[in-house]
Homo-oligomer: A and B are copies of this chain.
Amino acid sequence: MDLGERLKLTLFGASHGPVVGAVLEGIPAGTPVDLPAVQRELYRRRPVGRALATKRMEEDLIRIESGVEGGRSTGGPIVGVVENQDVRRAPYRELEDVPRPGHADYPARVRFGTAMDLSGGGIFSGRMTVGLVFAGAVARGLLAPHGIDLLAFTRSIGGVEASEAALDRPMTELRSAAAATEVSCPDPEAGPRMIEEIERARREGDSVGGIVEVRADRVPAGVGEPFFDPVESVLAHALLAIPAVKGIEFGAGFKAARMRGSEHNDAFYVEGGKVKTRTNHAGGVLGGLTTGMPIVARVVVKPTSSIAKPQESISLSERAPRQLVVKGRHDPCIVPRAVPVVENLTAFVLADLLLQGGYL
């Protein structure tokens, strides 16, 4: 039910309940908790200020109920709560009987019956990712002193991809380039075209998917727990729990299927006494353990399932066809909002693995 081994994350609340929140256990006593920085990560996740996103307005101010005193963790569970302010339940009533295509409505009804309120997605809502960002942002307090830095960014939206050249830059440059666009894409040429792609989808009552890439620099070599918690497994487990993520790949990823071993194998060399590899097709992970090279992963985010276009569905009670027009306020593309979620959740996973390996 929880995520993590040495760190444990539990999410609570629901999209249209009074709050969403998270309990984070295992942060060692005395770890600095930079609450303004945590709040900034939560702001990155908000749609506010994005012309492109949902009209639902939430302040997403975090309230710490437990576990932090004087800017440091006490060693007990850290509980963060965000009030849901802009809650409107009415638009979701119909969905109790007519499941939205592409959404959890149908299987959730089968499994949990009507006890579970699915307004706004209930516990399946993207709003639950508030807790993922919160936990990861706190966990970064464990990574920063070791020089470990992370960045996620939008790699593609619909048919528009960032160019390899634009992405082949140091993390600090990528960070500022990504921050300069509304879609968190570090390619200044592709960014505006991505925005057009999203606006076109919105105008057509439709939505569009994309790919988020995350990188982590300066993770020491040897991190990961062979059978059964290799780095890829643990990261995939976490990132695929983000709503709408449907796949993940590391390094060369699916391209490895077409590669020869002589091409995919990253040759070792020594530079300044440090072991490095000339390429990084492994994405910084060999045999489930980090190599000391940057960790590189990519996830695919499916197009938002809630769209304005009429869709073919059914009445569950009558077992009969129904045309469905989804009301409510929805993002035509959640890829940019997934960026800080992927980044901070990756931080959480790495901090947990570093703790397990005795690195922290």
Contacts and interface: CB of A to CB of B under 8 A. Distances in A.
Interface in A8-52: 8-14, 17-19, 21, 23, 25-26, 29-30
A165 to B, nearest CB: 20
A75 interface: yes
Interface string A209-251: 1110000000011111111111011101110110101111111
Among A105, A289, A292, the one with the most B-chain Cβ atoms within 10 Å of its Cβ is: A289
Nearest to A114: B30
Instruction: Report how many copies the assembly holds.
Output: 4
Contacts of A26: 1
Contact of A300 (B224, B253, B267): B253
Given A74-B122, A257-B156, A264-B102, A288 B241 contact: yes
24 contacts: A1-B25, A1-B229, A2-B8, A2-B25, A2-B228, A3-B228, A12-B65, A29-B112, A29-B115, A69-B117, A74-B116, A76-B227, A99-B268, A100-B265, A107-B290, A108-B222, A111-B357, A156-B257, A208-B260, A232-B241, A246-B251, A247-B253, A263-B303, A265-B307
Interface of A: 1-3, 8-14, 17-19, 21, 23, 25-26, 29-30, 65-67, 69, 72-79, 81, 99-108, 110-113, 115-117, 121-124, 128, 156-159, 201, 204, 206-211, 220-230, 232-234, 236-238, 240-241, 243, 245-254, 256-270, 273, 275, 277-278, 281-283, 286-292, 300-307, 309, 311-314, 316, 319-321, 357-358
